[in-house]
Each structure stands twice: as C-alpha cells, then as structure tokens.
Structure 1
Amino acid sequence: MQPDSEPSSDLIYGLDDRPKPPAAILAALQHVLASFVGIITPPLVIGSALGLTAHLPYLISMALMVSGVGTFIQARRPFGIGAGMICLQGTSFAFLGAVLSAGFLVKQRGGSPEDILAMIFGVCFFGAVVQIVLSRFIGQLRRVVTPLVTGIVITLIGVSLIKVGITDLGGGFNAPDFGAPGNLALGVFVLLTIILLNRSNTPWVRLSAIIIGLLLGSLAAWFSGKLVPQALPDLPLVSLPAPFKFGFSFDWTAFLPVALIYLISTIETVGDLTANCMLARQPISGPSYISRLRGGVLGDGVSCMIAATFSAFPNTTFAQNNGVIQLTGVASRYVGLYIGAILFCLGLFPMIGAVLQQIPKPVLGGATLVMFGSVAAAGVRILAQSPLDRRSMLIIATSLGVGLGIAAQPNLLHLLPKLVQNLFDSAITSGGLTAIILCLLLPEAKTTRVESAAALNKIEQA
C-alpha cells in the first residue's frame, strides 16, 4: 500500500530493500552531513550561555554518539522500540529554552558547571518518561493529532528550518560578512548543483547529489579563500561515555517546563514520522501506521533517556532526514544502521567531527535550504489530502498565523511568565498547540468526517 498516487519508481531503494555497502554508506554520509551541524549546535549554544566551555568537547562527542545509538535503534526496531525507518536522531532545538532555564536556576544558586549539568540531565532523564508513556497512547492521541494538525506541524517545522538554512547560506549567525556576495554565490552554486544532479535519471548521480554538492562547494570555497583549513584543536583521541558523569539532580521548578516540551516533541515526532511514511510509500492510516508511530515515539523517548544518562541533551527525530530521503530516493531502513554507526564513530573519535566542522556555512546552507524546503512541501502535501472546508481553512490560517507571527516577533511574549515563554517561543510549539486546541473546540461537520474517511480510504487503496 502506498500513501499517494506517485509511482514507487521515485524510490531507488524502498523501506525493506538492502542496498550494497557502497551505496548504503554514500546515502548514510549525506544524512550525516545534512544533520551534523544541527546535532552539535544545541550543545554549543547551551555550553556558551551557561559557561560550560571546559566541558564542550565531551558534550559534543556524547551528542553525536547518542544520536548514532538512537538512530540505530529507530532503524533496527529491537523489541518494538523504534519506527523501523530512517529516523535520524539529533539534539532537539525545542528544548533550548527549558534547558537554559534549568541551568540558570542552578547558576543563580551559585552552582558549579557540574551542578548545572547534573540538574539538566536529571530533569531530562525523568522528562523522557513522559514521552515513553505517551507512546503507549498514540492510538488515542490520534483523535487529537489529526492529519490536519500533523500537516500544519510539518509545514511549520519546514518553514522554521528554512530560516536556519538561509542564515547559513548568508554566512552563519552573527557572521561579520553575512550576506556577502561571495557567500551568496557559494550557497547558490551548491543549491543549483544539487538540483541539477537530482534531476538525473542515473540512480548513482541522484544518490550522491548532496555529497557531490558539498564537495564541489567546499572546493569552490577553498579556491575563493572562503575555506581556510584551521589547526585541529587539542582533543583526546577517543571520548568514552560514562553514565551520569556529572552527577544527578532534580527540581520540580526545572522539570515542569521540560516535561511540557516533551509533549510538544511527541507531536513534532508524529509529524516527522508521517512525512517519513509518505516518502517511504507506507500507509498513513490503519494499524501498521499506528504501530509505527507508537514505536517511533517510544524510540525517541528511549533515545532521550540514553542521552540524559550519557550527558547528551534531549534527542528528537530530525525533519531534515525526510528532505534527504526525498532528494536521494533512498528510504531503506538498513541505511539507518549505517547512519547510526557513522555518528557513533564521529562521537567516539572527536577529531573527525572537528574536521567536518570546517565546512563553510554557505556551503552547508546551500545544501540544507532545499532539504528544509522539502520538509515544508511534505506538510503541504498532507494538508492537500485533507478536505479543506471552511473549518479546516480557519484552523490552518490561525495556526500558521500564530506560529509564524511569534517566530517573526519573538519578543511578543517577553512580559509573560517564563513557563509561557518556554511553551510558545517557537513556531512549532505555538502553531501546533493552536491547531490542537482549535481542532478540539471547533466541531467537525458530519459531511467532513465522511469526506475524511473517504480520503483516507483512497490513500490506502493508492
């Protein structure tokens, strides 16, 4: 069964196909390159804000290593834990506000960097239990997290990520040469290269479009002087994980905002998994779909619990993962095993990550921009499959208006309580919660329910 009418030939490798190792490694590398910066950026931001500079190398290594373990679990699906798809696990940006609040709470009490990390990982560990419990009730939550809500959340995820991609294309956040013609030229060059290669009828060319674009972009940056190789930092040869390295602490004041973000993260994961199912030509309704959602959300929760145990910040299923699947045509879950192994090695050997960090931001921005746009397009596709009556249009318009409005004016909520700010400070959380509340408050017409059932049946038959 396929979720839409597109030919399955769009996929070079389907969900259960086993690519040969060279093809699998190439596809895996593109996922890793697309997500690497996203995985290490939250530790960098949190470490800089809380004065944890001395611990940053270890935190980055653990973020990569745990992302690898979580990705492997999602693809392998041991004991029903995981979605059984390519669900790349990465450090979640959604937790930044809540994690920083917990850290500043300890810092204001005069706590040391180790005390700060003990508190953060303690509340995150117990917060992961929230997501694990929610995974058992995904079937019941589908009454709330409808295709309409899912489509809105995925669209907002894509639109939010586009800002990250375009910022990198311009040179990076707070870059002194942001928007310089050289940066824009590099980003556009990589973007056009990936688009042209992706239109090829040769599977190997399409399969390697992103990695070729990044290589050619890095070469162009080197020739133009934008890429100047830096001396590698003094890092240990191997970073070995240690459970609760900084201790373990807990505080209800720090826990509640984190627990609420886990709820939002669950909704976001449901959206990402739905888009992944569409791209992999899997059903987006019925028992197998609910089972996949239940396993995927459980996999996220287990991954977050492992992260807190080994000094990494909360994980989530990365949305850019879906953009890579769409561009490469590789949906094989076996590629997820290779991704997990590569990320684990990057964390185990921090020098490899230090080399990859030197890829210029405009080069990464050119590659990620088209992938993030693909995520937003997947959300639009889900919305297009729902009956767009007056009620649906009102929910879509209000949710997008609230989500994108708060993203455009982040200071709008600065006079409200910190808990409210942490919940609504992003387009995804504010727009997603608005969509859920409106879907519950606005009754659905009987004719619309019939049309929705007919649409789902049509999707299943396709």
Structure 2
Amino acid sequence: MQPESDSNTDLIYGLEDRPAPIPAFFAALQHVLASFVGIITPPLVIGSVLGLGAHLPYLISMALMVSGVGTFIQARRPFGIGAGMICLQGTSFAFLGAVLSAGFLVKSRGGSPEDILAMIFGVCFFGAFVQIVLSRMLGQMRRVITPLVTGIVITLIGVSLIKVGVTDLGGGFNAPDFGTPGNLGLGALVLLTIIVLNRSSRPWVRLSAIIIGLAVGSIAAWFTGKLVPQPLPDLPLISLPIPFKFGFAFDWTAFIPVALIYVISTIETVGDLTANSMLSREPIEGPRYLARLKGGVLGDGASCMIAATFSAFPNTTFAQNNGVIQMTGVASRYVGLYIGVVLFALGLFPLLGAVLQQIPKPVLGGATLVMFGSVAAAGVRILAQSPLDRRSMLIMAASFGVGLGIAAQPTLLHEMPKLVQNLFDSAITSGGLTAIILNLVLPEEKSELVAAEGVTE
C-alpha cells in the first residue's frame, strides 16, 4: 500500500497501511532500539538489588521474548485482545518498588533466589487479573478516565522519562564520568542529528532518523574512545522459555502493593493508548476509542500474565513508543508485528542483545531525550483538547505539584510506611492518583458532565 498522501497529516504510513518489508523492518528496528534499554533495565536493577546475578541472563532473555509476544498480540489483536496499534510492550518501571518489597519479604525469611522469584512471579501472575478485570469496566470508569486525567498522567510519564534520558545523556546512573564534556557532546550530536533529519521533506530520511542518529553517535563514540567493544559474555546460544521455571508462591502482604500498582498501570496505559490513537489519527472519543482502550488494557493484562508465567517482570505499553511514532511518522500496526518478531529473536538469541547493550549511554540518552519530550508534548496536546476552566486548572496544578514535587524530592516519603512509599514514591503514581481523586470529588459543571457521558455513547 502506498504511503499516506494527505497533506494534513504528518504520517508516512497510517494505521492500516502495509509498508514493504524493508521499510517496515527499519521502522520496527527504531522502536526496538528506543526501548531495548528500558526493557532490560528493570531486570538488571531487581537482579542486582536482590542478589539474583546467577539468573540475570535468563531473566533478560525472557523480558525481551515476552515483550515481543505482547507487542505482537497488541498489533495483531487476536480475539479482541490488544489495541490493534503499535503498542510496544516492555518491562514496567512502575512495579520496581512493589516487586523489590516482595523480594525483600522473602529474603527476610531466609528464602533463596529461587524462592524470591517464585513469590514475585506468583503475586504478579494474580495481579494481572486486576488489569484484565479493569479492562472490561472501562466504560463504567468514564468519570475516572477522562481526557483531563489521561492528559495529566501521560504528561507526568513524559516528564518522568525525561529524567531517565538526561541521566543516560550524562553517562548513566553513578557513572564516574557523569556530565563530562565528552558525554554531553555525544548526546547533543545524536539529539541534533535526529532533529535535523526529522525536519527533512523526504519520508525515508524521517523514517531512519533515530537509527542514523544512534549510528552517528556510536561512530563518534568509537573515534573518541567512549565506545570500546567488549568481549561478548559466555551465554547460551538459545534461551528457551520454561513455564514457572522458579516455582510459584503467593503472599497477601506482597500481593496488595502489586495489585494497586496494576490499577495505576491501567490508568497509565489508557494515557499511552490515547496519545497513540491521537498520533495515529484515530478518534480519542466514542465507541471505537473505547473498544480500542478495552482491547489495549486487556492486552496489557494478558502480556503481564504471560510475563509472570515465563519469568519476566510485569509489562506495560511503553510511552516512548509514542515518541518514535511521532518522530518517524509510521503508525502502521503491521510494523508492530515486525517489532514483536525482532524482540522475540533478541530474547531467543541473547548474544544479539549483548551486542546492542554496548551502545554508550550518552548516545542512547541523546535519542531518548527527544522521544521522551515528545511523550510529554503529547500529554499537553491531550490537555489542550479539554475545557481548561477553573476546576481543570486546579486539578492540573495540584496533580503536577504533587507529582513533580515528589520527583524533585524523592526522600520526602521515606519516613512513611513501606506501603505508602511503594504507592506514592513516583511522579506518575502520586500525581496520577491526585488527578483521579480530585476529578472524582470536585463537582463538575452540567455541560462537562454531558460531554463526558458522550464519550462512551
């Protein structure tokens, strides 16, 4: 099918367009490169904190494979499971606190690394049912999932991710050379390359902007000594998925925080799907939109259940996915099928992932910074479509104040109980819950209520 020709759209390929295999593969590769580090970072963090080093290669392989399967389901939408869009599934950062708490609970009882993983994947497996049930109730949650709330949540997601991008641009967390001119120069080179190429009138240049930016940055890093190829680790040629490899355990104390994060993850997914629909030139209200939301959240829940079964941590629809769509102009859901296959292959052959892992963090930071900024901008666009009356401005002010305030002072809640820390110790959860609560308790004008009801009619 030919690329989108409508002069009023920035899309090169629309949602139902079918790019030829070569451009589809390169578009998919950009999504993979943008999300690869995000997918493998949570397993690395959890593994190092809980002492699971011996199992890390397997956990990373499973994270990539499950991300591929989940992404394929979201794009293919079998039996109504999935949004039918490019919804790249990746390991969720939102669950880190709750997962670590579950691990420390087992560790305090003298449990082995296998016992820790059995508990984590057990509570995450049952927690996935929370998201599956919520997906069937989205129509009844119209007073919660409004453009105002989703716009606030996705803006907070973008702003929170920007910190990750800036940290990588500086050299990475706790890097000895953090913020050196060499690191900043590499990140700036990648950022400027992507911006310049993205302004090109040639579709192929835009399509390849992120890959070219990463390639230019990697070559520059090699010439400056920042990229020194390392010997590949001693990994098995193929990692095969094994259901419940570490066993299965359950504890209510560990389950409740995880279940509550699944609720927050659902709201986050709705925000991401709304931004995705808008970027894909699909409606963000009405029955088609609601059906897409239900399928997408159900796809997230199914992906999380598959993840827990095959030793991967909870998945979610990655927000940076929307940044790549906006930067490349490719919204074809058929590209999502390619993304799923590539991610599955990376997990099946762990040595391929080890090669990509050597891309210097400043190079990745320069690429992700602009994409994460695009996510925040998408949230602002959603907010701009809501009536910004005094009530809406008050909800926005309080939500951004609470969310960004906690992000700016992360030790604020460290004297509070662990459960409170797990729920509110991030901008997304604290600001998102503030928006939900205020949206429910503050009275609306009659005209606003009528408009909200019209969304699900």
Confirm or deny that 1:125 pairs with 2:91. Answer: no
The secondary structure found in structure 1 opposite 2:316 is: strand
Per the TM alignment, residue 108 of structure 1 is displaced from its structure 2 partner at its CA by: 0.5
Per the alignment, residue 294 of structure 2 pairs with 294
What is the rounded CA distance, in whole Å, between the counterparts of 2:34 and 2:7 in structure 1? 26
The answer as to whether partners of 1:40 and 1:60 remain within 8 angstroms in 2 is yes
Q: Decide whether aligned partners of structure 1 residues 146 and 225 sit closer, same or farther in structure 2, where only a CA change above 3 A counts.
A: same
The answer as to whether partners of 1:8 and 1:281 remain within 8 angstroms in 2 is no
Per the TM alignment, residue 283 of structure 1 is displaced from its structure 2 partner at its CA by: 0.4
What is the rounded CA distance, in whole Å, between the counterparts of 1:274 and 1:444 in structure 2? 22
Per the alignment, residue 439 of structure 1 pairs with 439
What is the rounded CA distance, in whole Å, between the counterparts of 1:25 and 1:178 in structure 2? 34
User: Which amino acid in the other structure matches residue 161 of structure 1?
Assistant: L
Q: Decide whether aligned partners of structure 1 residues 448 and 287 sit closer, same or farther in structure 2, where only a CA change above 3 A counts.
A: closer
Per the TM alignment, residue 299 of structure 1 is displaced from its structure 2 partner at its CA by: 0.2
User: Which amino acid in the other structure matches residue 49 of structure 1?
Assistant: V
Identity of aligned residues (%): 85
Per the alignment, residue 89 of structure 1 pairs with 89
Per the alignment, residue 68 of structure 1 pairs with 68
User: Which amino acid in the other structure matches residue 87 of structure 2?
Assistant: C
Confirm or deny that 1:105 pairs with 2:105. Answer: yes
Per the TM alignment, residue 410 of structure 1 is displaced from its structure 2 partner at its CA by: 1.1
The secondary structure found in structure 2 opposite 1:240 is: coil
Q: Deviations over 1:317-354 (max 9, x none)?
A: 00000000000000000000000000000000000000
What is the rounded CA distance, in whole Å, between the counterparts of 2:452 and 2:318 in structure 1? 28
Per the alignment, residue 55 of structure 2 pairs with 55
What is the rounded CA distance, in whole Å, between the counterparts of 1:152 and 1:246 in structure 2? 39
Instruction: Map 1:244-259; keep pairs closer than 5 Å.
Output: 244-259=244-259
The secondary structure found in structure 2 opposite 1:33 is: helix
Per the alignment, residue 269 of structure 1 pairs with 269
Gaps of 5+ in 2: 1-5
What is the rounded CA distance, in whole Å, between the counterparts of 2:453 and 2:141 in structure 1? 17
Per the TM alignment, residue 8 of structure 1 is displaced from its structure 2 partner at its CA by: 4.5
User: Which amino acid in the other structure matches residue 62 of structure 2?
Assistant: M
Over aligned residues, Cα RMSD in angstroms? Answer: 1.4
Q: Deviations over 1:152-192 (max 9, x none)?
A: 00000000000000000000000000000000000000000
The answer as to whether partners of 2:77 and 2:84 remain within 8 angstroms in 1 is yes
Per the TM alignment, residue 416 of structure 1 is displaced from its structure 2 partner at its CA by: 1.1
Per the alignment, residue 156 of structure 1 pairs with 156
Confirm or deny that 1:330 pairs with 2:333. Answer: no
Per the alignment, residue 278 of structure 1 pairs with 278
Per the alignment, residue 381 of structure 2 pairs with 381
Per the TM alignment, residue 448 of structure 1 is displaced from its structure 2 partner at its CA by: 4.0
Per the alignment, residue 460 of structure 1 pairs with none
What is the rounded CA distance, in whole Å, between the counterparts of 1:153 and 1:268 in structure 2? 6
Instruction: Map 1:17-416; keep pairs closer than 5 Å.
Output: 17-416=17-416
The answer as to whether partners of 2:69 and 2:340 remain within 8 angstroms in 1 is yes
What is the rounded CA distance, in whole Å, between the counterparts of 1:166 and 1:444 in structure 2? 39
Per the TM alignment, residue 415 of structure 1 is displaced from its structure 2 partner at its CA by: 1.3
For normalisation by structure 2, the TM-score amounts to 0.97
The answer as to whether partners of 2:81 and 2:298 remain within 8 angstroms in 1 is yes
Per the TM alignment, residue 273 of structure 1 is displaced from its structure 2 partner at its CA by: 0.1
The secondary structure found in structure 1 opposite 2:9 is: helix
Q: Deviations over 1:403-450 (max 9, x none)?
A: 000111111111111111111011000000000100111001124446
Q: Deviations over 1:97-122 (max 9, x none)?
A: 00000000000000000000000000
The answer as to whether partners of 2:143 and 2:440 remain within 8 angstroms in 1 is no
The answer as to whether partners of 2:143 and 2:452 remain within 8 angstroms in 1 is no
The answer as to whether partners of 2:142 and 2:453 remain within 8 angstroms in 1 is no
How many residues align structurally? 452
The answer as to whether partners of 2:72 and 2:337 remain within 8 angstroms in 1 is yes
The secondary structure found in structure 2 opposite 1:412 is: coil
What is the rounded CA distance, in whole Å, between the counterparts of 1:265 and 1:142 in structure 2? 17
Q: Decide whether aligned partners of structure 1 residues 152 and 172 sit closer, same or farther in structure 2, where only a CA change above 3 A counts.
A: same
What is the rounded CA distance, in whole Å, between the counterparts of 2:322 and 2:286 in structure 1? 21
The answer as to whether partners of 1:103 and 1:120 remain within 8 angstroms in 2 is yes
User: Which amino acid in the other structure matches residue 95 of structure 1?
Assistant: F
User: Which amino acid in the other structure matches residue 185 of structure 2?
Assistant: A
Instruction: Map 1:440-455; keep pairs closer than 5 Å.
Output: 440-449=440-449
What is the rounded CA distance, in whole Å, between the counterparts of 2:413 and 2:9 in structure 1? 47
Per the alignment, residue 9 of structure 2 pairs with 9
What is the rounded CA distance, in whole Å, between the counterparts of 1:309 and 1:446 in structure 2? 47
Q: Deviations over 1:343-382 (max 9, x none)?
A: 0000000000000000000000000000000000000001
What is the rounded CA distance, in whole Å, between the counterparts of 1:449 and 1:134 in structure 2? 22
What is the rounded CA distance, in whole Å, between the counterparts of 1:233 and 1:135 in structure 2? 41
Q: Deviations over 1:251-293 (max 9, x none)?
A: 0000000000000000000000000000000000010100000
Per the alignment, residue 3 of structure 2 pairs with none
The secondary structure found in structure 2 opposite 1:12 is: coil
The answer as to whether partners of 1:387 and 1:452 remain within 8 angstroms in 2 is no
User: Which amino acid in the other structure matches residue 442 of structure 2?
Assistant: L
The secondary structure found in structure 2 opposite 1:9 is: coil
